[in-house]
Chains A and B, each alone.
Chain A
Amino acid sequence: MEKSVIGATFDAPAVDRYPAPNAGTQRWIAALGLIALAVVLPFVVSKYHVFELTMVMIYAIAVLGLNILAGYNGQISLGHGGFFAAGAYTAAILMHRYGVPYWATLPPAALICFALGVLFGLPALRFEGPYLALVTLALALATPQLLKYFDNWTGGQQGINLTKPLPPHWLVIDRDRWLYLIVLAALLLAMRIAANLLHGRTGRALVAIRDHPIAAAALGIDTARYKTLAFGTSTLFMGVAGALAAIVIGYVSPEGYNLFLSLSFLVGSAVGGIATIGGAIIGGLFIEFVPNLANDISDAAPWAIYGLAMLLFMYTMPQGVVGSLGPWITRSMRQIRAQRAAFAGGDEEHDGKGRTS
Chain B
Amino acid sequence: MSETPLPAAVGPQDGAAPPLLEIADVTMRFGGIVALDAVTFSVGKGRIVGLIGPNGAGKTTLFNCLSRLYQPAHGDIRLNGGSLRRCAASDIAGLGIGRTFQSPALFASMSVLDNVKVGAHARGRNGPLTDALTLPSSRREEREVDQAARAMLAFIGLEDAASRPAASLTLAARKRVELARALAARPLLLLLDEPAGGLNHQEVAALGVLIRSIRDQLGITVLLVEHHIGLVMSLSDQVVVLNFGRVIADGPPERIRRDPAVAEAYLGTRH
**Interface residues of A, Cβ cutoff 8 Å to B:** 1-3, 12-15, 17-18, 20-21, 193, 196-197, 200-205, 207-208, 210-212, 214-223, 229, 233, 275, 351-353
Per the bound structure, the CA–CA distance linking A201 and B139 in Å amounts to: 11
- Contact (Cβ within 8 A) A215 B101: yes
B244 nearest CB across to chain A (Å): 21
- B236 CB contacts on chain A under 8 angstroms: none
Per the bound structure, the CA–CA distance linking A67 and B109 in Å amounts to: 15
- Nearest chain A residue, comparing its CB with the CB of B160: A352
A–B complex contacts, Cβ < 8 Å, 19 sampled:
A14-B109, A18-B111, A196-B131, A196-B134, A201-B124, A201-B126, A201-B142, A204-B110, A204-B117, A205-B121, A211-B106, A211-B109, A216-B118, A217-B89, A217-B90, A218-B67, A218-B93, A219-B98, A233-B128
Indicate whether A202 sits within 8 Å of B131 (C-beta atoms), given known contacts A211-B108, A219-B93: yes
Chain B window 107-121, contacts with chain A (Cβ cutoff 8 Å), 1 for yes, 0 for no: 111110010011101
**Interface residues of B, Cβ cutoff 8 Å to A:** 60, 64, 67, 69, 88-94, 98-99, 101-103, 105-111, 114, 117-119, 121-122, 124, 126-128, 131-134, 138, 141-142, 145, 160-165, 181-182, 185
- Contact (Cβ within 8 A) B103 A219: no
Indicate whether A207 sits within 8 Å of B89 (C-beta atoms), given known contacts A201-B121, A219-B185, A220-B121: no
Indicate whether A220 sits within 8 Å of B101 (C-beta atoms), given known contacts A196-B132, A211-B107, A212-B106: no
Per the bound structure, the CA–CA distance linking A3 and B105 in Å amounts to: 8
Per the bound structure, the CA–CA distance linking A201 and B109 in Å amounts to: 16
- B162 CB contacts on chain A under 8 angstroms: 352
- B163 CB contacts on chain A under 8 angstroms: 18, 20-21, 351-353
Per the bound structure, the CA–CA distance linking A196 and B90 in Å amounts to: 24
Per the bound structure, the CA–CA distance linking A275 and B69 in Å amounts to: 29
B63 nearest CB across to chain A (Å): 9
Residue of B88, B109, B142, B145 touching A222 (CB-CB under 8 A):
B88
- B117 CB contacts on chain A under 8 angstroms: 204
Residue of B121, B131, B134 touching A219 (CB-CB under 8 A):
B121
Indicate whether A1 sits within 8 Å of B107 (C-beta atoms), given known contacts A200-B134, A220-B92: no
Residue among B89, B90, B119, B161 with most chain A CB within 10 A: B90
- B101 CB contacts on chain A under 8 angstroms: 1, 214-215, 218
- Nearest chain B residue, comparing its CB with the CB of A223: B90
- A211 CB contacts on chain B under 8 angstroms: 106-110
Query: Given contacts A211-B107, A216-B107, A218-B93, could you give 4 more A-B pairs where the C-beta distance is less than 8 Å?
Result: A1-B64, A196-B131, A202-B131, A220-B121
- A223 CB contacts on chain B under 8 angstroms: 90
- A13 CB contacts on chain B under 8 angstroms: 109
Residue of B103, B118, B128, B141 touching A204 (CB-CB under 8 A):
B118
- B64 CB contacts on chain A under 8 angstroms: 1
Ranked nearest first, the 4 interchain pairs of A and B with the lowest CB-CB distance are A220-B122, A220-B93, A200-B131, A211-B107
- Nearest chain B residue, comparing its CB with the CB of A232: B128
Per the bound structure, the CA–CA distance linking A21 and B131 in Å amounts to: 21
- Nearest chain A residue, comparing its CB with the CB of B191: A218
Per the bound structure, the CA–CA distance linking A219 and B120 in Å amounts to: 8
Residue among B88, B94, B98, B131 with most chain A CB within 10 A: B131
Residue among A201, A214, A229 with most chain B CB within 10 A: A201
- A12 CB contacts on chain B under 8 angstroms: 108-109
Indicate whether A200 sits within 8 Å of B105 (C-beta atoms), given known contacts A207-B110, A218-B92, A219-B119: no
- Nearest chain A residue, comparing its CB with the CB of B97: A218
- Contact (Cβ within 8 A) A207 B107: yes
- Contact (Cβ within 8 A) A193 B132: yes
B17 nearest CB across to chain A (Å): 26
B242 nearest CB across to chain A (Å): 18
A218 nearest CB across to chain B (Å): 5
Indicate whether A197 sits within 8 Å of B128 (C-beta atoms), given known contacts A1-B101, A2-B103: yes
- Contact (Cβ within 8 A) B131 A197: yes
Per the bound structure, the CA–CA distance linking A23 and B237 in Å amounts to: 49
- B98 CB contacts on chain A under 8 angstroms: 219
- B165 CB contacts on chain A under 8 angstroms: 14
Residue of B60, B110, B131, B185 touching A208 (CB-CB under 8 A):
B110
Per the bound structure, the CA–CA distance linking A262 and B187 in Å amounts to: 44
Per the bound structure, the CA–CA distance linking A157 and B107 in Å amounts to: 48
- Nearest chain A residue, comparing its CB with the CB of B93: A220
Indicate whether A220 sits within 8 Å of B131 (C-beta atoms), given known contacts A1-B64, A207-B110, A352-B163: no
Per the bound structure, the CA–CA distance linking A326 and B240 in Å amounts to: 51
Indicate whether A221 sits within 8 Å of B90 (C-beta atoms), given known contacts A1-B64, A205-B118, A352-B163: yes
Per the bound structure, the CA–CA distance linking A229 and B182 in Å amounts to: 25
- Contact (Cβ within 8 A) B93 A15: no
Per the bound structure, the CA–CA distance linking A2 and B164 in Å amounts to: 23
- B93 CB contacts on chain A under 8 angstroms: 218-220
Indicate whether A204 sits within 8 Å of B108 (C-beta atoms), given known contacts A217-B89, A223-B90: no
- A203 CB contacts on chain B under 8 angstroms: 131
- Contact (Cβ within 8 A) A208 B107: yes
Residue of A1, A197, A200 touching B142 (CB-CB under 8 A):
A200
- Nearest chain A residue, comparing its CB with the CB of B88: A222
- Nearest chain B residue, comparing its CB with the CB of A18: B111
- Contact (Cβ within 8 A) B131 A201: yes
- B106 CB contacts on chain A under 8 angstroms: 211-212, 215
A327 nearest CB across to chain B (Å): 10
